[in-house]
Structure 1
Amino acid sequence: MPIVLFRVDERLIHGQVVVGWGGPLHADRIVVADDEIAASPWEQELYCLGVPPEIDAVFVTVDEARRRISEWKGGRRVIVLVRDVATARRVAEGGALAGEEVNLGGIHHAEGRTRVLPYLHLGPGDGDALREIAASGAEVSARDLPATRKVMLDELLAGG
């Protein structure tokens, strides 16, 4: 099976991902690609509290994620989560996400970010990074839940 969801969501593992996406996509593994969390067993334990027992949770560095993307494209139904656009760009280096869909799902308001959608606020440089991801062969779009309308990258960046 392919990766069923590659999502940029600053909250990483939470109800919307586990229930809203994981259920309909029948995910059986969630991979969090985050250098800090990969080095922090206690944070991993906290995130695992929100994961049902039938779903494995794996925490890896960003470099490891980039190396293992092709492995995750086969076998299990995997959701890959990253915290921000810069991390997604790092994973996509070298075409690692070519043929995959990158979902922008939860980047909230913060200083210096501009509201693009109610659940998506992009900061300086995010537009260029998203264009790089798309140029590497990935489809980039935003959607907070599977039943909502998918907003493609060109529409997201039309104002900027």
Structure 2
Amino acid sequence: MGISLARLDNRLLHGIVASQWTPKSGANRVMVIDDKTANTPMIKEAMRMGKPSGCSLSIINKETAYTNFKNGKYDGQKVFVICNDPQIILDLIENGNEIGTLILGGTEIPENTESTKVSKRAYVKKEDEPIFKKIIEKGTKILVQYVPNDKPEPLEKFIK
């Protein structure tokens, strides 16, 4: 049990994530980890309306997520983690949580930042490359894949 799948997506929880990735994850809890969303009641409530059926939903800030995982709050559950910052994934791993696969879905188009385009909808900022490399070194497979039917591409193919 624990984290069944993780996804980086700038839109966090949206239709594709709810209808396609959540069933694929096998999770019974979807966890959105994002400080801004967790602290903005209107955004949080709108996101709750898109909750996948049959799953619990947590929309929490990163410190609450780290504390809850550390305290075993999700033991016995399969959790699908969604965030938009690779550092959160690395922090979860370094805090003792296993993440077998991280899906890199959609990202914002970086402006005035050196980046690598890894798919039609995803970019990796040069400043984030060391974080992704550490995640891979910790044993997590990172796949670039927008929807489950897309051919998954290993992130290592794009960053050296």
TM-score (norm 1): 0.81
Q: Residue 5 of structure 1 corresponds to which residue in structure 2? A: 5
Corresponding residue for 1:141?
143
1:65 to 2:50 alignment = no
The worse-fitting range, judged by mean Cα deviation, of 146-155 and 64-73 is 64-73
Match of 2:157 in 1: 155
Cα separation, 2, equivalents of 1:141 and 1:76: 23
Q: What is the deviation of 1:150?
A: 2.0
- Judge conservation of contact 2:66–2:95 (CA < 8 Å) in 1: no
* 1:76 paired residue number: 77
SS at match of 2:105: strand
Cα drift, residue 106 of structure 1 = 1.2
Structure 2 CA distance for aligned equivalents of residues 91 and 30 of structure 1:
15
Query: In the alignment, does 2:90 pair up with 1:89?
Result: yes
Give the letter aligned to residue 123 of structure 1. Answer: K
Q: Distance in 1 between matches of 2:137 and 2:68?
A: 21
Aligned residues: 157
| Structure 1 runs (4+) greater than 6 angstroms displaced | none
Mapping for residues 33-44 of structure 1, pairs under 5 Å: 33-44=33-44
Of 106-115 and 67-76, more deviation after overlay is shown by: 67-76
Contact kept, 8 Å, 2:6 with 2:81, in 1: the verdict is yes
Over aligned residue pairs, what C-alpha RMSD do you find? 2.4
Cα distance per residue 1:124-145 (max 9 Å; x no partner) = 2121110112223322222222
- The separation in 2 between residues aligned to 1:54 and 1:65, in whole angstroms, is 21
Does structure 1 residue 24 correspond to structure 2 residue 39? no
1:72 CA drift (Å): 7.0
Task: Give the deviation of 1:153 after TM superposition.
Answer: 2.7
**CA shift at 1:46, angstroms?**
1.2
User: 1:21–1:48: structure 2 CA closer, same or farther, 3 Å change rule?
Assistant: same
> Structure 2-normalised TM-score?
0.81
Which sits farther off after the overlay, 32-41 or 13-22? Answer: 32-41
- Aligned twin of 1:109: 109
Calculate percent identity across the aligned residue pairs. 24
Instruction: Report SS of the residue matched to 1:50.
Output: coil
Q: Structure 1: which 5+ residue stretches go unaligned? A: none
